[in-house]
Structure 1
Amino acid sequence: MTDIRTLALALSAVCLLGHGARAADQALIDAAKKEGQVVWYTTLIINQLGGPLAEAFEKKYGIKVFATRNDPSEIALRLLNESRAGKVQADVFDGSFAPTALVQAGAVERWQPDVVKQFPKDLYDQNGYWTAHRLMVLTVGYNTNLVPPGTEPKSWNDLLDPKWKGRMAWSSNISSSGGAGFGGLAMIELGDEKGLGFLRALAKQDIVGLKTSARAVLDQVIAGEYAIGLQIFNDNVVISRRVGAPIAWSPINPALAALSVISATSHSPHPNAGKLLVDFVVSEEGQIIARDRDYIPVHPAVAPRDPDVRPDGQRFRAVVMSPEAVDAALPKWRTTFDELFR
């Protein structure tokens, strides 16, 4: 678990080093081209980022990408079943979950692209199994038709205002992007005793728990079903706002920042093409594609298109958690959430 200021300083320092990492090895490119295709299990929305990345990869290398989108839990289960059956279909997968069980099952290739030499150490697995490709910052989103700018919550205490009672929603899934993650963050920031006190007060606000993803919660806020969404990805807000949605986000301190990571699978049908796709997604070229679609890149040489979305550790602060740290904290988060908000 890292404070965003440490990560922001590391990103800035590494950026000053220049673009020293070499492109993918020619031998890997040649072997990948012989395989001709790659299968990608992704959590990315296809028409927002998954598709553009796949199309750019195909254009660059002439390798066909077959991308299938699903929720992180479904991807993990599918990969585990494929590995146990000895019939691995995916060459690459991504998501915000820790691949610990998959690593233990031998389903994840211990491999990282050369570009990690440019990354701060918090952005890649020290054991070699994953590389971050997206920073996900979870904060408050609000419908600007229902919450005029200037009246939105600007602090956690503002969420306790009686005017928001019954008008807020979050995902009830036990994850960093749900109410459980918000509760976990409160205890990290305030300590267990004060954090629980705040959460007990928040529970009186009758927050609506939706058994769906954070993105789907945001869509319902946009539709006017709720005034405020908690644990909303701020880059998703920017993406929707650019196409005219009545939505904005508030940089309440601190936010929770999680990593979406990408890995190559073991015993896959197209192992070289899989590694080459991982290399492309986290490369400067791939990260520019993410940036241009308003996602928060992790490559030190690529700044977000909207500079406000990536916490700077000063005006906007966040706690960064690796997938493994989130995984270890989830049992405690679940207990607190079930006790106070179910």
Structure 2
Amino acid sequence: MSISRREFAKSALAAALWSCGVGVSLPALAADGRAIVYNAPAEWAGWGAMLQLIKKETGISVPVDNKNSGQSVSQILAEQKNPVADACYLGVSFAINAKNQGLVENYKGEGWNRVPDGLKDPDGAWVSIHAGTIGLMVNVEALDGLPVPKSWNDLLDPKYEGLVGFLDPSSAFVGYACAMAVNQAMGGSLDNFQPALDYFKKLRDNSPIVPKQTAYARCLSGEIPILFDYDFAAYRAKHVDGAPIEFVIPAEGTIQVPYVMCLVKNAPHMENGKAVIDFVLSEKGQKHWADNFLRPVVGELEKIAPEAAAKFLPASEYARAGSIDYGRMAEVQQAFGEAYLLAMKS
């Protein structure tokens, strides 16, 4: 039976250390060729093709995982005494909260070192891998002749009843981020949720669809004609899947948000988890994200993937996309989730 050079080197090193009386952890030196990454859905952010690229370039197999950020953190917490996941992909506020709960391992690898300050945890608990801008993903054909909405407030019009969808803000990070975008656009702040709560109560009267997990396919099919989502999802739908999709940056404004990766504390395939994080931040990894319409965190989109960059809305549209205090966003996430659920019951 033949083995790769890498496998031989690992086995030879293990044997040498063992013969010298040095105890070694074989899972670290010769893992079984896989890594479990929570929240890596094939239909989201180009993850399906990224998992294939990871296998091709590193030899590490990573299965698709359809959890959202909240479900992933809950699962890691439940498995804390016997971890299953090696790494996780999370909205930044979930990552900050996971760090505070002691669920992640600090890791400053090659990838971490490439990312600018401000887009990574200084201790190494999480690192941004790409970013997206929140707006409206609109299936134009599914509107059946209705005008494409241009603002958050347009969606309150009764003519859009039953046509609007957003992920549950109390569970999915994209749902929470979209709620924060609405809140900022309506004059709220991270210390004042009332504008968003008022907005969602009004939108409730238009019978919105509120799934807990990625609804990309449901927008492509027309089941959800107007979906609160990221620009990269809309551009992929339009330019890769050939769907009749347009992306709208609402007139009132929006926010740009990073997505991050963390290494799970006491991960069963720790070295493989590290390798996956390093790869997605490598030159090839960042080019993949850029080709899939995500803004890379290492390098500039226009230089890495000029063809993809040319398909974005003009810079004048993106001028309405601001930033937010992500640390504070994490601090108030639970409070907002509770306030949102209470408001939806009233």
Give the TM-score taking structure 2 as reference length: 0.73
Q: Is the CA contact 2:162–2:209 (under 8 Å) kept in the aligned structure 1? A: no
Residues 222 and 125 of structure 1: CA distance in aligned 2, closer, same or farther (over 3 Å): same
| 2:149 pairs with 1:153 | yes
User: Structure 2 residue aligned with 1:333, among 324, 327, 336?
Assistant: 336
Measured in 1, the distance between the counterparts of 2:258 and 2:201 equals 28
In the TM superposition, what is the alpha-carbon distance from 1:92 to its structure 2 partner? 1.7
Alignment deviations for residues 219-242 of structure 1 (CA, whole Å, 9 cap, x no partner): 43433334422x212211222223
The number of equivalent residue pairs is 310
Match in the other structure for 2:78: 81
Q: How far does the alpha carbon of each residue in 1:277-298 deviate from its partner, in whole angstroms, 9 at most, with x for none?
A: 1110111211112222334432
Distance 1:333 1:236 in 2: 25
- Structure 2 distance, partners of 1:146, 1:52, is 28
Larger strand proportion of the pair: 1
Partner of 1:319: 322
Distance, in Å, in 2 between the alignment partners of 1:215 and 1:183 is 16
Partner of residue 163, structure 2: 167
Q: Cα distance 1:134–1:73, how it changes in 2: closer, same or farther (>3 A)?
A: same
1:228 equivalenced with 2:226 (yes/no) = yes
Identify if the C-alpha distance between structure 1 residues 312 and 328 changes in structure 2 by more than 3 Å, giving closer, same or farther. farther
The 1:105–1:337 alpha-carbon spacing in structure 2 relative to 1, beyond 3 Å, is closer
| Partner secondary structure for residue 235 of structure 1 | helix
TM-score, scaled to structure 1: 0.74
Aligned-pair distance for 1:301?
A: 4.1
Gaps of 5+ in 1: 1-26
* Native 8 Å contact 1:143 1:248 kept in 2: yes
Partner deviation per Cα, 1:155-198 (whole Å, 9 max, x = no partner): 334334443344323233425532x5444334334434998468
Distance 1:201 1:76, change over 3 A: closer
The aligned counterpart of 2:293 is 294
Q: Which has the larger radius of gyration?
A: 2
**C-alpha distance in structure 2 between counterparts of 1:148 and 1:132, whole Å:** 39
Q: 1:104 Cα shift? A: 4.5
- Kindly provide the amino acid, as one letter, of the partner of residue 95 in structure 1: L
Shift of 1:94: 1.4
Amino acid in the other structure paired with 2:283:
E
Residue 60 of structure 1 deviates from its aligned partner by 2.7
Distance 1:317 1:298, change over 3 A: farther
% identical aligned pairs: 21
Residue 93 (structure 1) shift: 1.6
Q: Which residue does the alignment assign to 1:21?
A: none
SS of the residue 2:174 aligns to:
coil
Q: Does the CA-based 8 Å contact 1:39-1:67 persist in structure 2?
A: no
The question of 1:111 aligning with 2:107 is answered yes
Distance 1:315 1:158 in 2: 19
Q: Does 1:124 align with 2:85?
A: no
Distance 2:341 2:272 in 1: 43
Q: Which amino acid aligns with 2:74?
A: L
Kept in 2, the 8 Å contact 1:258–1:322? The answer is no
Q: Paired residue for 1:92?
A: 87
Kindly state the Cα deviation for residue 310 of structure 1 after the two structures are TM-superposed: 8.3
- Residues 2-41 of structure 1: pairs in structure 2 closer than 5 A: 34-41=30-37
Cα 1:172–1:55 change in 2 (3 A) is closer
Amino acid at match of 1:143: N
Q: Structure 1 pair 121/259, CA: closer, same or farther in 2 (3 Å)?
A: same
Q: Give 3-state SS (helix, strand or coil) of 1:112's partner.
A: coil
Matched with 2:19 is none
Measured in 1, the distance between the counterparts of 2:118 and 2:207 equals: 34
Tell me by how many angstroms 1:142 deviates.
1.6
Distance verdict in 2 for CA 1:110–1:196, change over 3 Å: closer
Deviation at 1:110, TM superposition (A): 0.9
Change (3 A) 1:295 1:213: farther
